[in-house]
Amino acid sequence: MKPIKIRGTEDTPDVILDATKGLIEFSGRSLPEDVLSFYAPVLRWLEDYIKSPNSRSEVIFKLDYFNTASSKIILDILIYFEHLSNEGKDVIVKWFYHKDDEDMADAGVEYFEIVNIPYEMHSY
């Protein structure tokens, strides 16, 4: 699978999808006008990736802000990796948040109450 790198804008996150490294990373802000259009290639790539994943998958979320529509996509992404984890694959999700951003910390906690997946919370 070819890696995908999407350079973020003021309204869209930086995205790195690298099957060889097992690295999936989202950083910046996620409030695209058309969430489905922005995330469609990401979700297609993930659907292919979970068919033949790396021996270890590291999923990193380092978002400063995301809107409600993006929150649904984030949950969908986490569910993909929950399935991999349930199949015995080595998966870790790292949720980064600014040390003063309680809302982003709480969002991570809420996601991990919904999905059963190994995760780490990191403040910076």
- Assigned domain for 16 exists: no
- Assigned domain for 106 exists: yes
Residue 50 C-beta-side C-alpha neighbours within 13 Å: 20
Q: What is the residue-averaged pLDDT of the chain?
A: 97
pLDDT score for 121:
98
pLDDT score for 3:
96
Q: Read off the pTM.
A: 0.95
pLDDT score for 67:
97
- Assigned domain for 9 exists: no
Structure tokens at 86: 């349930």
Task: Determine the structural domain holding residue 62 and report its residue range.
Answer: 29-123
- Assigned domain for 4 exists: no
Question: In the structure, what pLDDT confidence band is assigned to residue 66 with cuts at 50, 70 and 90?
Answer: very high
What's the number of domains the chain is made of?
1
Structure tokens at 76: 């969908």
pLDDT (average), residues 66-87: 97
pLDDT score for 97:
97
Question: In the structure, what pLDDT confidence band is assigned to residue 16 with cuts at 50, 70 and 90?
Answer: very high
- Assigned domain for 20 exists: no
pLDDT score for 35:
97
pLDDT (average), residues 33-45: 96
